[in-house]
Amino acid sequence: MTHTDLYAVLGNPVAHSKSPRIHALFAAQCGHDLRYEARLVALDGFADALIPFRAEGGQGCNVTVPFKFEAARLAERRSPRAEQAEAANTLGWDDAGRLWADNTDGIGLVRDLARILMRPEKGLLATQRVLLLGAGGAASGVLGALIETGAQAITVWNRSPDKASRLVARHASLARTYGVALEAATVPPVGFDVVINATASSLGGTPLPLPSGVLRSGALAYDLMYQRVPTAFVAQAREALAQAHDGLGMLVEQAAESYWLWRGVRPDTRPVLAALQAELGVRDD
Ligand code: NDP
């Protein structure tokens, strides 16, 4: 009897997720037999949702809003990336049945930035000044990887400033190791080369209240959110003549890293991103 491996993305909301499509394309490319579902989980039911999933033969799952912090806490073993982020987007079970957690959001973002900038990942943002907007699960997941690019400076701004301060404090030691000037700001400052929107502002379709000059010609603006039409942040950035991209490429890259963690095979992301862009009728700037 053939056995189809089961994977899923767990979140709330989750219906909009492109992860099932991405993993179906990876599986076709790799000749793997698997099923990948989007599962809506009650806001207070994340831990409970893992039990039937595992009983049905679940091999691993991705985790999205708002469960990334809880996912990391639940795991018996965390990768250094998940430990640093205190958040996980990838879960699996080892041979002894123990739940492990990892976070592939950061490497996903860095790989997509490398694609956009057409530069190697190593030292990708050296000499660059980076502004990270947001301090939720996604910002927590990407900050460590941004620091590891050796950026000259990284400033974190969040609507609730205490969360930005805590995120920065948690990464202070890593930033020292990489010689990155890391700080939190209470107002989004100007003068940055790369501006990354890791807030959920675009979900509501509203532009962020950014002082003029934060988004400007010559800057790269990146919205972690993606959708068929330009996100509010992408539209705002283009209006300011910045080079703007949404997070579809990151989504494909973080998914490929999860796939590798689960199955030991790294899919080629380029044809998958191209297929998604064609299906959504979107193009890169
Ligand atoms: P969380 O709910 O954990 O955090 C939300 C963050 O956005 C917080 O910093 C919150 O601020 C801020 N925020 C929410 N609404 C607004 C607003 N109207 N104005 C300003 N700030 C706001 O969500 P995540 O961090 O997990 O996700 C953030 C975004 O990143 C989502 O759009 C998600 O889809 C996207 N994402 C994309 C990925 C990809 O692969 N492309 C991967 C992961 C996430 P406060 O602390 O003040 O509440």
Residues 124, 128, 129, 133, Cα dihedral to 10°: -30
* Tens digit of pLDDT at every position of the chain (285 positions): 457 999 999 999 999 899 999 999 999 999 999 999 999 999 999 999 999 999 999 999 999 999 999 999 999 999 999 999 999 999 999 999 999 999 999 999 999 999 999 999 999 999 999 999 999 999 999 999 999 999 999 999 999 999 999 999 999 999 999 999 999 999 999 999 999 999 999 888 899 999 999 999 999 999 999 989 999 999 999 999 999 999 999 999 999 999 999 999 999 999 999 999 999 988 776
pLDDT at 285: 62
22 ligand 1 Cβ < 6 A = no
65 ligand 1 Cβ < 6 A = yes
Neighbouring C-beta atoms of residue 73, cutoff 10 Å? 14
The correct answer on CATH 3.40.462.10 for the domain covering 5-103+249-280 is: no
- Measured between alpha carbons, how far is 80 from 87 in angstroms, rounded to an integer? 11
136 ligand 1 Cβ < 6 A = yes
Residues 118, 119, 120, 121, Cα dihedral to 10°: -90
161 ligand 1 Cβ < 6 A = no
Mutate which of 224, 248, 273 for ligand 1 pocket (most atoms within 8 A of beta carbon): 224
pLDDT at 3: 76
**What's the CA-to-centroid distance between 137 and ligand 1, angstroms?**
7
Domains 5-103+249-280 and 106-246 share a fold: yes
- Measured between alpha carbons, how far is 42 from 31 in angstroms, rounded to an integer? 34
Domain boundaries, the chain: 5-103+249-280, 106-246
CA-nearest residue for atom 27, ligand 1, is 138
Q: Specify whether 18 is catalytic.
A: no
Mutate which of 199, 208, 231, 252 for ligand 1 pocket (most atoms within 8 A of beta carbon): 199
105 ligand 1 Cβ < 6 A = yes
Please give the model's pTM, rounded to 2 decimal places. 0.96
CATH of 106-246, one of 3.40.50.720, 3.40.50.300, 3.40.50.12240, 1.10.3720.10: 3.40.50.720
CA angle at residue 36 from 32 to 41, to 5 degrees?
160
